[in-house]
């Protein structure tokens, strides 16, 4: 059980910080739980050369490329590890590859839907 | 029907997205970009895409067919990487069985199994003698493949799921395409199935 001195110290320390207060600090701590961002909401960036529709396709395309980069890395790991004797690492790499497939599928179907909509809907 | 400027812009933008995909295909260092482009070209010939959407479908069909071939190759690599541990495991089982009769500890049996397995991978001439040891212990001639498969199963199962998923997605893309151009989608489907079947046949032939 904590002593009186420890309780007092806990109170003092607890009073020092109640989380980020500035906008900058809040923006930074918002990223604390971010792992790879592959499942994050896609937001279209403003681009002077492209319309809003095009920038949403562009944002999806960028996401797909980001996933592809991760997937190729995982594929390469599996490829290299299948020549080594480290079977645990090989099994882990295969599981990671399978996990990435989910993000790839999701982004693929979103891009396809957007392209179909863009073709059907006049500007 | 003549196209207005905004339709042309829209199409060129979609084609630009496709060209960016084609310029940097998602390939591994030892994969051949030319082969990937050849596969795309052959699918383009079969599918005869008419608009950017068809082109995207042809591209996706190429990527997914490539993925299926790549995963099948990966399965072979994974199985091969489990051959040594499989042989060690079989020899360990045989050694442990005799060790318990002779009063030798399991650790000693394990290290003996590792030593016994080494020549198999260094000298192919040692294999028939090793196979006789395995068969004399009561194991069938394909015991090594079975043991390797069992050890590799935790990695083979997700790869098998990846193959099924890639084939399902390929079907979906072709279904989409079929809505606009039935004949071309059928031709593209046949081309994809043919490519995968040819690869399977080549793999089987190389294993014989």
Does A6 map to a domain?
A: no
Does A18 map to a domain?
A: no
Does A103 map to a domain?
A: yes
**Cβ contacts (< 8 Å) between B82 and chain A: which residues?**
87
Which A residues 62-101 touch B at CB under 8 Å? Answer: 68, 71-72, 75-76, 78-79, 81-85, 87, 90-91, 94-95, 97-98, 101
- Rounded Cα gap, residues A109 and A106, in angstroms: 5
Domain that holds residue A55: 36-120
Does A11 map to a domain?
A: no
Q: Which residue of A has its CA nearest to B15?
A: A115
- Rounded Cα gap, residues B39 and B36, in angstroms: 5
Q: A123 vs B10: CB contact, 8 Å cut-off?
A: yes
The total number of structural domains in chain A stands at 1
Residue in the block written with tokens 């069992």: B150
pLDDT, residue A2, reads 85
Residue A63's CB is within 10 A of a number of other CB atoms, namely 21
Longest CA span, chain B? 90
Average pLDDT value for chain A: 79
Q: Which residue of B has its CA nearest to A61?
A: B17
More confident residue, B182 or B22: B22
pLDDT surpassing 90 at residue B173 = no
CB nearest to A119's CB, from B53, B77, B154: B53
H runs (alpha helix) in A30-86: 52-81
Average pLDDT value for chain B: 80
Mean pLDDT throughout B101-129? 78
**Cβ contacts (< 8 Å) between A105 and chain B: which residues?**
165, 169
**Cβ contacts (< 8 Å) between B13 and chain A: which residues?**
50, 54, 57
Band (pLDDT 50/70/90 cuts) for residue B162 is: very high
Nearest-CA distance B72 → chain A (Å): 12
Does A3 map to a domain?
A: no
Structure tokens at B90: 């079989």
Does A48 map to a domain?
A: yes
Does A62 map to a domain?
A: yes
Structure confidence by residue, pLDDT tens digits, B42-84? 888 877 777 777 787 788 888 889 999 999 999 999 999 998 8
pLDDT surpassing 80 at residue B5 = no
Give per-residue burial for B92-122: e unless 16+ CB within 10 Å, then b: bbbbbeebeeeeeeeeebbebbeebbeebee
Band (pLDDT 50/70/90 cuts) for residue B177 is: low
pLDDT, residue B151, reads 92
- Rounded Cα gap, residues A73 and A59, in angstroms: 21
Does A98 map to a domain?
A: yes
**Short-list B158, B195, B179, CA closest to B64:** B195
Q: What is the pTM of this model?
A: 0.72
């Amino acid at each position: 059980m904590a002593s009186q001195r420890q309780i007092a110290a806990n109170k003092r320390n607890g009073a020092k910080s109640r989380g980020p207060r500035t906008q900058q600090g809040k923006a930074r701590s918002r990223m604390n739980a971010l792992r790879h961002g592959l499942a994050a909401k896609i937001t279209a960036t403003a681009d002077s050369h492209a319309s809003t529709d095009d920038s949403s396709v562009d944002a999806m395309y960028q996401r797909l490329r980001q996933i592809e980069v991760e997937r190729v890395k995982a594929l390469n790991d599996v490829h290299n590890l299948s020549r080594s004797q480290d079977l645990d690492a090989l099994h882990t790499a295969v599981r990671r590859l399978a996990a990435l497939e989910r993000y790839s599928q999701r982004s693929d179907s979103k891009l396809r839907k957007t392209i179909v909509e863009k073709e059907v809907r006049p500007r | 029907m003549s196209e207005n400027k905004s339709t042309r812009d829209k199409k060129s933008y979609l084609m630009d997205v496709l060209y960016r995909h084609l310029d940097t295909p998602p390939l591994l260092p030892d994969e051949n970009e030319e082969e990937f482009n050849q596969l795309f070209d052959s699918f383009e010939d079969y599918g005869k895409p008419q608009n950017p959407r068809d082109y995207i479908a042809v591209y996706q069909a190429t990527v997914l067919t490539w993925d299926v071939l790549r995963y099948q190759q990966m399965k072979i690599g994974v199985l091969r990487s489990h051959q040594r541990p499989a042989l060690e495991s079989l020899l360990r089982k045989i050694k442990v069985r005799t060790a318990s009769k002779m009063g030798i500890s399991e650790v000693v049996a394990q290290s003996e199994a590792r030593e016994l397995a080494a020549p198999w991978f260094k000298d192919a001439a040692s294999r028939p003698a090793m196979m006789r040891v395995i068969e004399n212990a009561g194991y069938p001639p394909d015991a090594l493949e079975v043991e390797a498969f069992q050890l590799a199963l935790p990695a083979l199962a997700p790869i098998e799921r990846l193959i099924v998923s890639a084939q399902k997605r390929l079907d979906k893309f072709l279904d989409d395409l079929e809505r606009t151009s039935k004949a071309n989608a059928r031709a593209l489907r046949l081309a994809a199935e043919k490519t995968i079947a040819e690869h399977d046949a080549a793999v089987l032939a190389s294993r014989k």
